[in-house]
Amino acid sequence: MTNPDHLDDSDSLAAVRKARELLHRARAVIFDFDGLLVDTEYAIYSSWERVFASCGHALPLDLFNQCLGSGYTHWNPGEHLEQLTGRTFDWEAVNGRRQEEIVRDLEHAGLLPGACELIRSLAEAGTPMGVASSSSHRWVDGWLNRLDIMSYFQTVVCRDDGLPVKPDPALFLKAAENLGMQPAECLVLEDSQNGTTAAHRAGMPVISIPNRVTEQADFSLATSKIRSLAELL
């Protein structure tokens, strides 16, 4: 049974008020990256969807959600496609083409609504901030520098720091440690089910903000769920 506090009524004023209270009480804020700060996940999903379609197979969003936030550790679309087709693929070539498509699709991408304003507001209030992502430093740091927001974050923790990816809580726990905070003092902002689960396991309150790729996921472990970072302003 879904806890009513963990809601499907993300558009309700009560959910927004609860999220703002969580933000007000937080001593530090830890952001996910993909799908929360920048809408990268739809481009990534679309690249995989085209690969599946070229083989005569669909890639339902609810299936793809299994890998979001976990860096393909817990479910790999490539392995799934090989099982469906009984074929092996030259994944170096396939992923090279996918990466080119992703870069093309994200050429003009920027921060999602409310992200810039929220980050600046927290910085002005002196609230320590970090990023914890199952993606690589090359990807995350590259985007943070490109968007000119890297300087706002006191720590960035990624999969190539040698830690287990989400839904394991390790990335969030390391970010809290780097910020000099106890887990319960940190508020996590997430867009994926795996990320929400990781924050919950870390003992951190978590606000889930689903996007067009993750909106079908299970967010029953979220402390609150809203539609946009802009609702926190």
Distance CA 150, CA 144 (A): 5
**Residue of 5, 34, 141, 168 with catalytic role:** 34
Question: What are φ and ψ of residue 128, in 5° steps?
Answer: -60, 145
34 is annotated as an active-site residue? yes
Neighbours of 43 (CB within 10 A): 20
Phi-psi region of 201 (alpha: psi -120 to 50; beta: other; left: phi over 0): alpha
Q: Which residues lie closer than 8 Å to 92 by C-beta, 6 or more apart?
A: none
32 is annotated as an active-site residue? yes
**Residue of 32, 141, 168, 191 with catalytic role:** 32
Distance CA 36, CA 115 (A): 8
SS3 state at 110: coil
Residues designated catalytic: 32, 34
